[in-house]
Amino acid sequence: MKKILTLHLFILTVCVLSSCSHAEKTQHIEVFVTETSEQNAEGFSETTGYKKVNSITNIEESTNDIKTDIKAVEDYYDTERNYIRTEIIHSNYNKSYNTKAEDGDDLKKVIHKPSTILIPDKNIEHFKLDDMTKEEKEKVKEHVLNLMDMVEN
């Protein structure tokens, strides 16, 4: 009986240790502008304006699962560059490679005050702030995280 118990304990230990794999963590801090579009009556995509975005994307991936966490501030404008609204978004998603189970959550708060930073008001078509300095990344990160309080409370 003791040998069977020891064997079960060994198997359980191996299973637990094999499920504890190293996770690769990545963080992207981005500042960019992209067009917004909607499908028109004919079924074609039509540009409706653009949005300015400050975002933090965290990805944690192991051999067993992937977890993503996105925090973003998006200022929406029409095609005439008139401000419409700001969306503060917190989205997370988890997927198990073993069980194929998926879950996620999206929180959003709409405010009416432009809230993105480091994006000019002129000549913004396809703007993307590449090669951000460490200071710029920290500034964007702090700014986005401060606005998340509005969504999560």
CB 47 within 8 A of CB 133: no
User: Among residues of the chain, what percentage have pLDDT more than 90?
Assistant: 67
User: Token pair of 75, please?
Assistant: 């200022």
User: Token pair of 21, please?
Assistant: 């794999």
pLDDT for the residue 98: 87
Q: Share the mean pLDDT of the chain.
A: 87
Is residue 120's pLDDT more than 70? yes
Name which of 54, 59, 58, 34 is nearest 144 in CA terms: 54
Residue 1's pLDDT band (boundaries 50, 70, 90)? Answer: low
pLDDT digits (tens, 9 = 90+) for 63-76: 999 999 999 999 99
User: Token pair of 106, please?
Assistant: 């999206």
Is residue 11's pLDDT more than 60? no
Name which of 57, 67, 135 is nearest 89 in CA terms: 57
Q: How many helices (H) and strands (E) does the chain have?
A: 2, 5
Name which of 86, 85, 73, 74 is nearest 142 in CA terms: 73
pLDDT digits (tens, 9 = 90+) for 44-56: 999 999 999 999 9
CB 133 within 8 A of CB 123: no
Strand boundaries in 21-98, DSSP class E: 24-39, 45-61, 65-78, 83-96
CB 46 within 8 A of CB 40: yes
* Report field, pTM of the whole predicted structure over 0.75: yes
> In this structure, are strands 102-111 and 83-96 parallel, antiparallel, or unpaired?
antiparallel
The 10 Å Cβ neighbour count of residue 51 is 20
